[in-house]
Amino acid sequence: MSTKKNAADTVIIKKYANRRLYDTSSSQYVTLDFVRELVKSGRDFTVVDAKSGDDLTHGVLSQIIFEEEARGENLLPLPFLRQLISYYGDSLQSVVPSYLEATMEAFSGQQEEMRERFAGTLQSPQAIMEAFQEQSRRNMDMFGQAMQVFAPFVPGAATPDKSGPEDQPAGESDDLKAMRAELDAMRAKIDKLSG
Give residue 100's Cα distance to chain centre.
3
Cα-flanking dihedrals φ and ψ of residue 16, to 5°? -95, 165
pLDDT for 25: 93
pLDDT confidence of 4, banded at 50, 70, 90? very low
> How large is the average pLDDT for residues 114-119?
69
Highest mean pLDDT among 53-62, 101-110, 112-121: 53-62
Give the integer Cα–Cα distance in Å for 190 and 195: 8
Nearest-5° angle of CA 13, CA 46, CA 43?
Answer: 95
Q: What pTM was estimated for this model as a whole?
A: 0.57
pLDDT for 195: 56
Give the integer Cα–Cα distance in Å for 115 and 18: 41
